[in-house]
């Protein structure tokens, strides 16, 4: 059995579908602060099995302990997605972010120790690299000081896991995600940004759908080929599959304790203008956009060297930018048609 925290969220729900379809028994813990219980219906529809669900605040140690009393003895592994993730909000409410994201991880590690659960996959982020001096980044590329409290929680969580793996029986993997986009091919699960999206791809799909008047491209004089920022956009289903491979690696481990880190991206950098063009090509819908000022805190370019994940996790991204954007568009349209 695998416990999936944050399993009704965007990346968690896609991962639960992959896990169940590959024979894992899944138990989801989520407080629904940024997701909906209806995700359980969609996961059931796509996998043929409804995961057991506990509505629980993972940053509340008593609540979590009570849930682990019920399920802890049956679990072999935990995938820990649950976290607050809005960069801007974390600047406004740093304590809320440190409390939620750090306490949740610490509580999970305490319960794993208590119930002798040895395997942990943790959601980290390429934000830990900041603006790297050289691209692509490998796992050896030095981390930089975080641009936001959110980013800092990811660096601190990585350190907490590393240190804990030296002190208790724990085999752990941090996956450093690059920019997750896209949705399941069924268009039944996807990303549900609340309010005006901060991220590029939901803003693009909402502009295409006529919900936003126009996309503003943040900065066109960066030192890149077309002047716009470069990121590594990874399809969420490929990302979900990386968790499966990480789990398999951990469950096959013979050591008492270990800690490892993997970049999970495509290895390809795409500019903001590349994304707009790829969306237009993939969907046939044009995007109304204007060039605007830079967004504070944005870095010029980051993309992954994925050699380590390719060789040691036996994982490689399969889906390209156009396929990813097409799936985002299908999800946007399907979601709007059901909710308007």
- Residue nearer to ligand NAD on the CB measure, 19 or 83: 83
CB of 263 to ligand NAD, least distance (A): 12
- Residue 155 binding: pick among ligand UDP, ligand NAD, none (C-beta 5-8 Å cut-off by kind): none
DSSP letter at 62 equals: H
Q: Where are the alpha helices (DSSP H) in 185-285?
A: 200-208, 236-251, 272-283
Closer to ligand NAD by Cβ: residue 104 or 270: 104
Q: Does 150 qualify as catalytic in the annotation? A: yes
| Minimum CB distance to ligand NAD smaller for 36 or for 248 | 36
Which among 36, 57, 152 has a CA at the least distance from the CA of 100? 57
Strands (E), the chain: 2-5, 26-30, 52-55, 77-80, 119-125, 171-177, 179-181, 215-218, 230-231, 233-235, 258-264, 270-271, 289-292
In the complex, which residue's CB is closest to ligand UDP? 229
CB of 252 to ligand UDP, least distance (A): 33
Q: Report DSSP state, residue 178.
A: -
Which DSSP letter does residue 74 get?
G
Q: Is 153 in the site for ligand UDP (CB under 6 A)?
A: no
Residue 229 binding result from ligand UDP, ligand NAD, none, given CB thresholds of 5 to 8 Å by partner type: ligand UDP
Smallest separation, CB 247 to ligand NAD (Å): 16
- Decide: is 270 part of the binding site for ligand UDP (CB under 6 A): no
11 binds, among ligand UDP, ligand NAD, none (CB under 5 to 8 A by kind): ligand NAD
DSSP per position, 288-325? -EEEEPPPTT--SB--B--HHHHHHS-------HHHHH
- Pairwise CA distance, residues 6 & 29, whole Å: 6
| Contacts to ligand NAD by CB under 6 A | 6, 8-12, 30-35, 57-59, 81-85, 100, 104, 123, 125, 177, 180
Respond yes or no on whether the N-terminal peptide bond of residue 269 is cis (omega within 30° of 0): no
Q: Which is nearer to ligand UDP, 154 or 188 (CB)?
A: 154
The sign one gets for the Cα dihedral 122, 127, 130, 135 is: positive
28 Rama class: left (phi>0) / alpha (psi -120 to 50) / beta: beta
Q: Does 98 bind ligand UDP (CB under 6 A)?
A: no
Cα atoms in the 13 Å half-sphere on the side-chain side of 103 = 15
Whose Cβ is closer to ligand NAD: residue 32's or residue 196's?
32
Using CB under 6 A, which residues numbered 202 to 231 contact ligand UDP? 203, 215-218, 229, 231
Question: Binding segment for ligand UDP among 94-102, 143-151, 197-205, 314-322 (CB under 6 A)?
Answer: 197-205
Q: Does 121 bind ligand UDP (CB under 6 A)?
A: no
- Give least dist CB 298 to ligand UDP, A: 4
The yes or no reply on residue 268 touching ligand UDP (CB under 6 A) is no
Going 185 to 191 to 196 to 199, the CA torsion angle's sign is: negative
The answer to whether the beta carbons of residues 77 and 251 sit under 8 Å apart is yes
Which residue's structure tokens are 């059901």?
338
Q: Which of 54, 97, 150, 222 is catalytic?
A: 150
Q: How far apart are CA 247 and CA 172, in angstroms?
A: 9
Contacts with ligand UDP in 294-313 (CB under 6 A)? 295, 298
From ligand UDP, ligand NAD, none, interface partner of 231 (C-beta below 5 to 8 A by class): ligand UDP
Out of 29, 128, 246, 272, name the contact with ligand UDP by CB under 6 A.
Answer: 272
Chain residues binding ligand UDP by CB under 6 A are 179, 198-200, 203, 215-218, 229, 231, 272, 295, 298
For the annotated catalytic residues, the residue numbers are 150
């Amino acid at each position: 059995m695998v416990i999936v925290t944050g399993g009704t969220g965007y990346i968690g729900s896609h991962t639960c579908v992959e896990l169940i379809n590959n024979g894992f028994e899944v138990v989801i813990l989520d407080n629904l602060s940024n997701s909906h219980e209806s995700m359980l219906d969609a996961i059931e529809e796509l996998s043929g099995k409804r995961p057991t669900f506990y509505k629980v605040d993972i940053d509340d140690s008593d609540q979590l302990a009570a849930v682990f009393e019920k399920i802890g003895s049956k679990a072999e592994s935990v995938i820990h997605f649950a976290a607050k993730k809005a960069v801007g909000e974390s600047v406004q409410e740093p304590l809320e972010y440190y409390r939620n994201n750090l306490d949740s991880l610490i509580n999970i590690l305490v319960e794993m120790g208590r119930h002798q659960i040895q395997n942990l996959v943790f959601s980290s982020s390429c934000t830990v690299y900041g603006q790297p001096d050289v691209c692509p980044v490998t796992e050896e590329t030095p981390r930089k000081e975080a641009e936001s409290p959110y980013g800092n929680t990811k660096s601190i969580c990585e350190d907490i896991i590393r240190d804990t793996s030296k002190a208790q029986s724990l085999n752990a993997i941090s996956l450093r995600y690059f920019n997750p986009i896209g949705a399941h091919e069924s268009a039944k699960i996807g990303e549900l940004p609340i309010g005006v999206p901060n991220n590029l791809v939901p803003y693009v799909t909402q502009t295409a759908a006529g919900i936003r008047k126009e996309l503003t491209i943040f900065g066109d004089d960066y030192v890149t080929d077309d002047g716009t920022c470069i990121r590594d956009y990874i399809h969420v289903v490929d990302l979900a599959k990386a968790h499966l491979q990480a789990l398999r690696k951990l469950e096959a481990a013979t050591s008492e304790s270990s800690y490892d880190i993997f970049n999970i991206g495509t290895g390809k950098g795409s500019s903001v203008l590349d994304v707009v063009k790829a969306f237009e090509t993939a969907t046939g819908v044009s995007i109304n956009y204007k060039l605007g000022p830079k967004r504070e805190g944005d870095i010029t370019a980051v993309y992954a060297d994925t050699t380590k994940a390719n060789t040691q996790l036996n994982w490689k991204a399969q889906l390209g930018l156009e396929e990813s954007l097409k799936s985002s568009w299908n999800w946007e349209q399907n979601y709007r048609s059901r909710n308007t």
